[in-house]
Structure 1
Amino acid sequence: SGRYPNTTFDSVTNHKVYADKFGYHYIHCNWPTNEKNRYMNKICFIQAYFDLFDYIIWLDDDAFFWDFEKDIMDFAPKNEHFLSICKSPNFKNLKTYFSSGQFIIKTNDRAKEFLDSVLTLEMEIVKKWWNHDLGYFTNGDQDLMTYLALSDNRFSNKLSLYNYKYFNSRVENLISEDVHIPLILHFTGTVDVKIRNYAWVQQEYRLHSSLISDKYLANYNIFRKKNEKSISKKIIAKFRLWLRL
């Protein structure tokens, strides 16, 4: 996971501790690439380590593991499939065909060809092909991946597409919409909305900024900001005011 140049969220700690729990190698990526579209950085990050692993799990910096008892590799692509990815939540007004914020890729030749194609495909081709039924156009890697998955015979029918709640849950799923225990809690929307929701979850569940309970942090020398709670309370106050408005 990662983001260049830095991230607003303490997802690094979250991802690292989860990886340790299940015995996976964790790599945080935060360096610049040659790509002009910042969404393509993740593709370059994955390519940098592609040949070292059998599978690679990607998570955006605004996605957090929530259920530390469930192994995400239960959803790894099997047989001829090379990519496991989740649909967009069906209760959201703003939807996409799937979310590239978190996925599992099998590091075989087909997957390598897929990633290469994401970087070389012209966005204008995808824009002309796009239709309303596919949802919101993000102008990023997600749209290119959708195009390749649906229109390119090399990759079509080679993806495992899961319901969103398998590993693409949202904050609403904790309190109001299709309530369940998320494996991954993905904060989406504008930056302000993400930060409000992130702060609310941290405060409501009395969690460290990594959104990990003390049970799993006990063996780590965790840095805690002295003013962390006061900052969260200020954000929460604004969040509650916003909800009333």
Structure 2
Amino acid sequence: MSELRVDIRAKRHAGAAVDTLGELRFAARSGDFIAIVGPSGAGKTTLLKIIAGLDPAFDGSVSAGRGSRVGFVFQEPRLLPWLNVADNLRLVQPDLSDAAIDDGLARVGLAGTARQFPLRLSGGMQRRVALLRAFLIQPELLLLDEPFISLDAPTADSLYDVLAALRADVMPTTLLVTHDLREALALADRVLFVSRSPARLILDHAVPLSGRRRRDDAAVSEAHHQLMSQHPELLGGLAAAGSNPEAVR
């Protein structure tokens, strides 16, 4: 996929009194992993839907995202309960063989679950299926809308490993919406902080870490401490002193 460029000037939902999104501009190189952090209700999910092409009613432009193979993982796994795991996967790839499904499920730690129904799986297992489903199309762009929310730390850590292993094959440009700054620092190359609604970009922060890492790593804790010491207002969606909201890569 060529560089993703997002240039949103405004987005207002029908019947709303104020805009959901304000001026919000950024770019992502092919293979980048970007986390988007901001207050609840700031329009982060709306932003992902615009980038995916699911919401065309906005003022602005998105280049490269539309027309690309897009994988989307939502807060809830969104598995159809009346279909077994194999048939849920075939919703995106109808011609998948039983062998390919078994191989994929084994890779995400779910060997032998192809004929099980979603309600027989734990929440963490359902999310493994959702991640696998998103990667079956070999996405060029991967959109993650808080897919690890409400999971305990060990389960979330295991899913981070699944995500990293799947990503390594195709290296999609990845946008992750999360409320967890430690999660953002553990997974992403950059963190975009957005303001309260109408959301605008208030800081584009390059994560000063490399390699695989976890939320409780000392390096992540130090990066978190330094960021919050310098910009304690960020998580409340308030502008960071000295930030450069126009930074575009």
Answer whether TM exceeds 0.5 for this pair. no
Q: TM-score w.r.t. structure 1 length?
A: 0.29
Greater per-residue strand proportion? 2
Higher RCO (CA < 8 A, seq sep 6+): 2
Q: TM-score w.r.t. structure 2 length?
A: 0.29
